[in-house]
Structures are given as structure tokens and as C-alpha cells.
Amino acid sequence: MTVILQVEDLHVSFKTYGGQVKAVRGVSFCLHKGETLAVVGESGCGKSVTSQSIMGLLPAYTSEITNGRILFGGSDLASMDDRSMRKIRGADISMIFQDPMTALNPTMTIGRQMTEGIMEHRKLSKQQAKAKALEMMKLVSIPNAELRMKQYPHEFSGGMRQRIVIAMALVCEPQILIADEPTTALDVTIQAQILELFKDIQKKTGVSIILITHDLGVVASVADRVAVMYAGKIIEEGTKRDIFYRPHHPYTQGLLHSVPRLDDEAKELLPIPGTPPDLFAPPIGCAFASRCPHAMVVCGKLYPGSREVAKGHYADCWLLDERAKVLHR
Ligand SMILES: Nc1ncnc2c1ncn2[C@@H]1O[C@H](COP(=O)(O)OP(=O)(O)OP(=O)(O)O)[C@@H](O)[C@H]1O
Ligand code: SF4
Ligand SMILES: [Mg+2]
């Protein structure tokens, strides 16, 4: 499988009044052509900061990529200047945010916003750009597209607005689409329709998708592979089947337990007890140690590092060390 994006040992920090927040602490993963990689984890674990790093959208004065590379098309996006990054953003790599209203300009018709977006990146006449916009509106199944192009964002329902945002993200035929919680603001039926739309678009265009979510139902529906994040690191990565049926990291196991099952009598969410660590002073060992039911002395002292538990399935946990297995048998 062709690797289209490779993130290597990414570290991102923020300067705040309280000190330096180490938000992303050594994230590595790759994205293959035409696949959907889901990035999951609790609030604050660094999902959005990772995607902002790829898009070159980190706040200019308060953030710093202190280490790592983001390789795309022969360039390192982590060290790219603003001007070059602007050419890639929206054209080769596009992003969809949680709230469609923030991505749309309420003062302009949808048609004008889309046409201007296309003409910013492509040398097309206004007429050609309009035709492209119309094609994209049809791709995301917006009925009466010609008429709808003349309307303003507030004239659309939430689900339709998200379809428009997706259409706008696709107008320049990007190779990568990053969607950060794209369905969280929508009700369940509309959410299912948007997820179907993602699958459909991927089939038609071959775009590679990074889908950020804390909803394992969304992951189950659309992901090929899954990266589980905890306290600024990816602690487990594998295919959807690996993660759902053979989770190896106690945090992933906890996440899966926290989802209610239809056949469960209690039908209650079982949150993982405890809270994630303070990222001003992250632990030197495993960051999950204070919440982990299997923690050993070594866990608080040394980071376990990544181990391959099956082909393409990795987890960072001391339980996977041969010597620990003897103790736990
Ligand atoms: N602009 C910023 N300034 C300071 N700290 C920030 C900034 N943006 C993010 N952080 C911190 O970085 C960490 C990771 O944040 P991030 O937004 O990536 O989390 P997330 O996994 O996307 O969470 P959520 O599920 O709530 O969206 C958090 O501790 C957050 O407080
Ligand atoms: S390394 Fe230790 S504390 Fe961390 S998840 Fe594994 S067993 Fe638990
Ligand atoms: Mg986020």
C-alpha cells in the first residue's frame, strides 16, 4: 500500500502562563492511499493538535513543533514556511471541522464561497469554477444544487451545511481529507448519513481520510485502521478488527468497556476511573499508570515503548514484554 503521509516522532508544545504544555509527545503514524485512519482518545489527548500540525494551523506565537517530521509529497510540512503551506492547505490536504457554521461565511452565498475557494487554488475561469462547484454539490447529494448555490448558509439545515463543508473541502480534489469530529454536532440519523457520504466519496475519489473522533460507533462504521491516543502519544495502533477484537493496551480495553452494549442489562457507560495526567509535567513512565488496573512498578519509571503484537498491530505497554508475560500467566 502506498504511504501518502508519514508523521515521525512529532512533539508539539504550547507556551501558557502556567508553563509549557506538552500536548503531543512523540506521535508517529502513516496514512495509506485511499484508507480511513481513525484517531480516537479522550478529550485533551492531542487529536486536534496533531491535525493542526499537519495542516500548519497551530497558533503562530504560542505553539512550537519541538521535534519530528511530517512527510508529504517529498516535503516536510513541520518545517515548511507559511506561504508554501498555504498552497498545500485546501488544495492537497483539506480539513473539515466539527461545527460547519465556523467554516462557512454567513455573508456570502454558498456558490460564491465555493467558486472563490476553487479559484484561489486553481487556474480556472469563473465559469469553470462554477461548474466544478456544482459537480461537488452533486457529489455530496445536495438536491436542487443549482438553486442551492444561490442561498446563504443559514438557509440550510445542520446536516446540509456539513455536506456543503465537505463539498468545499473536496473542490480542489485533495489527496488527504482530515475530519475533526465531523459528526459530533449532528443528530444520530444525520450522523449516519454523513458517515455513509464519507464512504461513498472515498470510493468515488480515492481520497485518504484521517477521521478524528471520540465516538467508537463512528470508528466501527467507517475506519480501516485506528490509532488510539492517550496523553499526547499513540498508545495502540492497528486495523479496526485488531482494536475492537484484540485490544492489547489496558487503555484501549477500558475505552471499549466504556461503550454500552445493546445486549448489556445495565446499558450504562462505565467510565475509566481517574483522569488523564497533567501535560505541564507529564509522567516519565506510562502516562496511564495511575489509572491502570495492571500497573507494575516499572510502569511509573520507564516508558514501555512500542511493540508489534501482530503484523501492523502495535501497542505501548509493559505487559507485552516477554518477562512481564511470565509474571502475568
Ligand atoms: N492553543 C492552545 N494553547 C494551549 N494549550 C493548548 C492549545 N490547544 C490545545 N492545547 C492543549 O493541548 C492538549 C491537547 O489538546 P487537543 O485540542 O489536541 O485535544 P483533543 O484530543 O482534540 O481533545 P477534544 O476531544 O476535547 O477535542 C490539551 O491539554 C489542550 O489543553
Ligand atoms: S505500561 Fe503498565 S501502566 Fe501502562 S498500560 Fe501497560 S501495564 Fe498499565
Ligand atoms: Mg479536538
User: Is 70 exceeded by the pLDDT of residue 268?
Assistant: no
How far does the centroid of ligand 1 lie from the alpha carbon of residue 122, in Å? 33
Contact 233, 246 (CB under 8 A): no
Least confident of 65-69, 208-212, 270-274, 292-296: 270-274
Q: CB within 8 A of 234, min separation 6: which ones? A: 27, 28, 29, 227, 228, 316
pLDDT at 329: 44
pLDDT at 99: 78
| 204: region left, alpha or beta (phi > 0 left; psi from -120 to 50 alpha) | alpha
Which residue's alpha carbon is nearest to atom 7 within ligand 2?
295
Ligand nearest, relative to CA of residue 289? 2
How far does the centroid of ligand 2 lie from the alpha carbon of residue 224, in Å? 26
Separation between Cα atoms, residue 64 and residue 165, nearest integer Å? 29
What would the grid cell of residue 222 be? 467507517
| Cα-only R_g, the chain | 21
What would the grid cell of residue 202 be? 472515498
Mean of pLDDT values over 21-49: 96
What would the grid cell of residue 212 be? 478524528
Q: Is the CB of 272 within 6 Å of ligand 2?
A: no
Pick the atom of ligand 1 nearest to 16's CA: 4
pLDDT digits 0-9 by tens, 98-109: 777 788 999 999
Mean of pLDDT values over 244-264: 84
pLDDT digits 0-9 by tens, 61-107: 999 999 999 999 999 999 999 999 999 998 899 999 877 778 899 99
Going by pLDDT thresholds of 50, 70 and 90, the confidence category of residue 11 is: very high
How far does the centroid of ligand 3 lie from the alpha carbon of residue 143, in Å? 31
Of the candidates 7, 71, 75, the residue with the CA atom closest to the CA atom of residue 227: 7
Ligand nearest, relative to CA of residue 298? 2
Q: Is the CB of 21 within 6 Å of ligand 1?
A: yes
Separation between Cα atoms, residue 52 and residue 63, nearest integer Å? 11
What are the backbone angles phi and psi of residue 178, rounded to the nearest 5°?
Answer: -105, 120
More confident residue, 225 or 269: 225
Contact 244, 220 (CB under 8 A): yes
Of the candidates 225, 254, 276, the residue with the CA atom closest to the CA atom of residue 39: 225
Q: Is the CB of 230 within 6 Å of ligand 2?
A: no
CA distances from 130 to 92, 95, 126, 232 (A): 20, 21, 6, 42
Contact 210, 223 (CB under 8 A): no
How far does the centroid of ligand 1 lie from the alpha carbon of residue 132, in Å? 36
Q: Is the CB of 168 within 6 Å of ligand 2?
A: no
Of the candidates 55, 69, 31, 77, the residue with the CA atom closest to the CA atom of residue 208: 31
The arrangement of strands across the sheet holding 313-315 comes to 93-96, 176-180, 208-213, 36-40, 225-230, 233-239, 313-315, 307-310
Q: Is the CB of 318 within 6 Å of ligand 2?
A: yes
pLDDT digits 0-9 by tens, 99-158: 777 889 999 999 999 999 889 888 889 999 999 999 999 989 899 999 999 999 999 998
Mutation probe of ligand 2 site: the residue of 252, 319, 325, 327 with most atoms within 8 A of C-beta = 319
Which residue's alpha carbon is nearest to atom 1 within ligand 2?
317
CA distances from 272 to 44, 170, 275, 291 (A): 15, 38, 8, 8
pLDDT digits 0-9 by tens, 166-194: 998 888 889 999 999 988 888 888 889 99
